[in-house]
Amino acid sequence: MSAAKKAPKRPLTARALAIQVMARVAATDAYLNVVLDSVLDEFQPKDPRDAGLVTELCYGATRRLLTLDHALSTVADRKLDSIEDKVLAALRLGAYQLFFMRVPKHAAVGETVDALKAVGLERAAGFVNAILRKLSALPELPLPAGDEVQRLAVRESHPEWLVRRWQHQFGPERAAAMLKADNEPPNVVIRANTSKTSRDGLLAQLTEVGIAARPTAVSPVGLVLENPGRVEDLFGYAEGLWQVQDEAAQLVGVYAQLPVGAKVLDACAAPGGKACHTAETNVVLALDVHANKLPKIESEARRLGLAERLTTRALDASTLPDDLGEFDVVMVDAPCSGLGTLRRHPELRYRRQEKDFAGLASLQRQILEACQRHVAPGGLLVYAVCTTDTTEGPDQVELFLRSHPDFTAEPPRVKGLPLVQAYLRTLPGPEGFDGFFAARLRKLY
């Protein structure tokens, strides 16, 4: 007798997929964007709006994690770290909908409980329902009764050490603006591939096919896309007319002001945005210590029509071989804390610790020391980090210059860039930037 056929599984709802993503990120310490892409590829929601809702739920709840956990801890009868990953994910997603989305309270509770059942945890449905109902009865989002730093840390969902550090480095007003900006969804920004088109030409083409876009405020090659959806489906992607890149990252290339036709070494090239930007007008050797990241750079170079100008090689930038030779320009986009990209990678704010800076600074010094030997006399060393922290930016460069009198800081002849002394610096805030620092150093002899 043949076994009875199993009924086909119903497609998971957006909330059920969000539970899967949040739980997997918590269990594996993986990057949110990587897990989200993997889950969406695996389950392939038929309605694009479902993919958008999954993305909003996961990023929003991750950005607001400390805020949500504080609220949940005020009504839960057990410690949150004792709750299994999928159940805790459901609680956080339900709380996010209650306090930060325009979802009716009954729907936020009911549909989250249904989503938990859909992922096989019906036994926990009563517990989650009770907690979310208690939370929905609160008149407002609860905040701690501690000092101002503690309240700010919970309200804006950043660890207390980071709030204090930013207040010390940038002052209370700017720190508050940075914290707030980290919780705003970033714009989708693209950089025109100037080897094929101009920004104005690309803007005209996008407008003609009905894609809403506007020029970036400072970068001369960037466009901000309005509600673009899946970028790979947009006009110009397959044709290699543009590449996704935040405006602040674009400004590193503008600030570098490299001579056309230069021989360039990009010592820490992954994921390849700056290497491809540079290859529009120069010949680039792109290195990365992780060989598995090089095919992505090569693929992007082919899509953009830059493969003849960009080659890759797996090398550790902190121990470069002498026979690598000299280059007109060496670019060092160094490994860093990533604190300038917390709106794009919100999970990083909970994983970074203050003790990390000493190890990162040591690695950055090793890389600078190894790379400076390969700058030809009269050439440029461009150092960049996607962080706000002064120890990884100006402090690192000043230390390098004190021990290398053959280098000097040389700002570019480009007007309108956000400079601090000779250095490029962008901070999260109302300007809409990620946080970046870059230094342009000339080798005198």
| Residue with the two structure tokens 């190894």 | 370
**Strand-strand pairing, 283-288 and 310-314:** parallel
Q: Active-site residue among 58, 268, 276, 386?
A: 386
* Domain range 255-443, CATH architecture: 3-Layer(aba) Sandwich (3.40)
Mean pLDDT of 415-438: 97
The predicted model scores a pTM of 0.93
Token pair belonging to 256? 């570098």
Residue 239: HSE in the Cβ half-sphere, 13 Å Cα cutoff: 13
Between 9-13, 73-77, 237-241, the lowest mean confidence (pLDDT) is in: 9-13
Decide: 45 and 51 in contact? Cβ < 8 Å.
yes
Judge whether residue 127 has pLDDT over 70: yes
pLDDT band, residue 175 (cuts 50/70/90): very high
pLDDT band, residue 44 (cuts 50/70/90): confident
Decide: 341 and 434 in contact? Cβ < 8 Å.
yes
Phi-psi region of 210 (alpha: psi -120 to 50; beta: other; left: phi over 0): left
pLDDT in tens, 96-109: 999 999 999 999 99
pLDDT in tens, 365-386: 999 999 999 999 999 999 999 9
Residue 94's pLDDT is 98
Element (H, E) at 189: strand 188-192
pLDDT band, residue 2 (cuts 50/70/90): very low
Residue 10's pLDDT is 57
Domain parsing of the chain, residue ranges? 14-136, 148-182, 188-244, 255-443
Judge whether residue 445 has pLDDT over 70: yes
Mean pLDDT of 220-237: 94
Crossing angle (nearest 10°) for helices 65-73 and 125-136: 90
Residue 46's pLDDT is 80
Q: Do domains 14-136 and 255-443 have the same CATH topology?
A: no
Cis, peptide link before residue 271, omega less than 30° from 0: yes
Q: Is 386 a catalytic residue?
A: yes
Identity of the amino acid at 215: P
Specify the 3-state DSSP secondary structure of 287.
strand
Judge whether residue 432 has pLDDT over 50: yes
User: From the CB of residue 278, how many other CB atoms can be counted at a distance below 10 Å?
Assistant: 26
The mean pLDDT of the chain is 95
DSSP string computed for 382-415 = EEEES---TTTTHHHHHHHHHH-TTEEE---S-T
* Domain range 14-136, CATH architecture: Orthogonal Bundle (1.10)
Decide: 247 and 432 in contact? Cβ < 8 Å.
yes
111: Cβ contacts below 8 Å, ≥ 6 apart = 13, 15
Decide: 248 and 435 in contact? Cβ < 8 Å.
yes
Token pair belonging to 129? 């329902």
pLDDT in tens, 4-16: 444 345 578 999 9
pLDDT band, residue 48 (cuts 50/70/90): confident
CATH number of 188-244: 3.30.70.1170
d(CA 290, CA 347): 22
Mean pLDDT of 277-289: 98
Q: How much of the chain, in percent, has pLDDT values that exceed 70?
A: 98
Specify the 3-state DSSP secondary structure of 265.
strand
Crossing angle (nearest 10°) for helices 48-63 and 14-28: 40
Mean pLDDT of 54-72: 98
Residue 4's pLDDT is 45
Residue 187's pLDDT is 94
